[in-house]
């Protein structure tokens, strides 16, 4: 760990009664392989934190919005997915505190790093809940996760772009979109895909990502913009 627990407490703006809880929240399973003296990793706290985050976000959406259940479910999914939680964790510099094995630390797979950050964020939330109680956990999630909701709504990140593009393509043109990999680069553990979305033979847009699914979603999102379909 390049920084100490007290520095993370300052970033979180929370003074832990039991610092061991925060410490444990930062221990990745791989770290124990090289440090057998450490007995606990963060997965149990992650399990708890996942439920705490979901409850707080659900409560907030239910209280503040009168939208149908399906819409609120999509908004919640956009707030609590690994991509969003890893982004929030990165803003809080969690990457400077998480304890990883040397192999894991040197792995440049962006997908793996994303999940490690998201898992640590959930574990820290679990630690805050146990140490400080529900209200402190709620304040932490409102400040750092729910605060992303305007950005999500403005950029329509809650929409399943692939399903939406297919639905509108069929309604407007009678054609079902198809996706083809245009480019595949990188080693097996760190692939990068470029995908094209087509209506019949016409290339409408391209998208990129670390998986075919991610690249297809990006292509569909770009196609919706190009077609100006809402």
Return d(Cα 191, Cα 218) in angstroms, integer: 16
**3-class DSSP state of 28:** coil
Q: Is position 131 annotated as part of the catalytic site?
A: no
Catalytic option among 50, 104, 119, 131 = 50
What is the CB-side half-sphere exposure of residue 226 using CA atoms within 13 A?
Answer: 16
Instruction: Give how far Cα 177 sits from Cα of 5, 181, 203, 218, 225, Å.
Output: 50, 14, 10, 14, 15
**Which DSSP state fits 99?**
B
Return d(Cα 53, Cα 122) in angstroms, integer: 7
Catalytic option among 46, 104, 122, 131 = 122
Q: Determine whether 124 is exposed, middle or buried from the number of CB atoms within 10 Å of its CB (0-12, 13-18, 19+).
A: buried
Take residue 145 and report the two structure tokens written for it.
């996760």
Return d(Cα 142, Cα 128) in angstroms, integer: 13
Q: Is position 66 annotated as part of the catalytic site?
A: no
Return d(Cα 58, Cα 52) in angstroms, integer: 10
Take residue 37 and report the two structure tokens written for it.
């003296």
Take residue 208 and report the two structure tokens written for it.
């990129």
**Which residues are marked as active site?**
50, 122
């Amino acid at each position: 760990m390049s920084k100490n627990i007290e520095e993370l407490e300052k970033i979180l703006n929370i003074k832990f009664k039991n610092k061991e809880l925060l410490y444990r929240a930062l221990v990745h399973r791989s770290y124990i392989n090289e440090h057998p003296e450490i007995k606990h990793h963060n997965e149990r706290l992650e399990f708890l934190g996942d439920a705490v985050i979901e409850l707080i976000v659900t409560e907030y959406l239910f209280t503040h919005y009168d939208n149908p259940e399906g819409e609120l479910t999509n908004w919640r999914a956009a707030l609590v997915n690994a991509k969003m939680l890893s982004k929030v964790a990165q803003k809080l510099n969690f990457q400077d505190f998480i304890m990883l094995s040397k192999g894991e630390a040197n792995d440049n797979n962006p997908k793996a790093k994303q999940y490690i950050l998201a898992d640590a964020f959930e574990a820290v939330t679990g630690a805050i809940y146990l140490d400080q109680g529900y209200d402190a956990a709620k304040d932490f999630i409102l400040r750092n996760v729910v605060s992303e909701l305007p950005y999500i709504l403005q950029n329509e990140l809650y929409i399943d772009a692939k399903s939406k593009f297919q639905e509108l393509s069929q309604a407007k043109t009678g054609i079902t979109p198809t996706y083809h990999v245009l480019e595949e680069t990188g080693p097996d553990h760190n692939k990068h895909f470029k995908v094209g979305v087509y209506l019949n033979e016409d290339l409408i847009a391209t998208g990129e990502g670390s998986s075919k699914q991610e690249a297809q979603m990006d292509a569909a999102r770009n196609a919706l913009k190009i077609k100006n379909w809402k």
